[in-house]
Amino acid sequence: MRLCFASNNAHKLDEIRPLLPATVQLLSLAAIGCTEELPETQDTLEGNARQKAQYVWDHFGVACFADDTGLEVTALGGAPGVYSARYAGPQRLAEDNVAKLLHELRNHPDRTARFRTVVALVLPDGTVHEFAGAVEGHINPELHGTGGFGYDPVFIPAEGDGRTFAEMPLTEKNGLSHRSRAVAKLVAFLNQK
């Protein structure tokens, strides 16, 4: 099955590619000729994932899936949540987002957080299916590690050994991550097709 992953984030493509079955030919947005920025104007992760996947289906006629991920911090009432990528502004710079997060948490003893991902899949018949995954953890007060992207240098998963996602090899992160859990549900669904 030819399936486009509706994301311009090369890091996400690298994470997802090894999780998909060999029967899926993963296409990038560039491979289908999509060079425009995908819309993300909804106020929920579910809404943004559906909007991006539907956009690719409507404009390019290619079966696809899209994800939206948010970091939900307890002390911040679930923020940055759906605005995680642009938490510090429209420039969408990970360094700025992490710096703002650490500044916001500087006086909070509760640093619990979770990453949550929603994947929306649009099949060749136009039907839409959703899959979600989450991982609990906490925010480290300092950046650690050079791997991963986004908030990975400050997020320590509860199921891990005290390292941030940025300190883990990709295969190890994929064994714990919110995105891999959502994609595992997507893969299980595709394997039934």
- Give the residue numbers annotated as catalytic, written as ranges: 68
Q: Which amino acid belongs to residue 27?
A: L
Instruction: Answer for the pair 25, 3: CB distance below 8 angstroms, yes or no.
Output: yes
Instruction: Answer for the pair 56, 62: CB distance below 8 angstroms, yes or no.
Output: yes
**Cα distances (angstroms) measured from residue 128 to each of 10, 21, 65:** 24, 20, 9
The neighbour count for residue 141, using CB atoms within 10 Å, is 10
**Cα distances (angstroms) measured from residue 21 to each of 49, 66, 90, 189:** 21, 17, 35, 11
The neighbour count for residue 58, using CB atoms within 10 Å, is 10
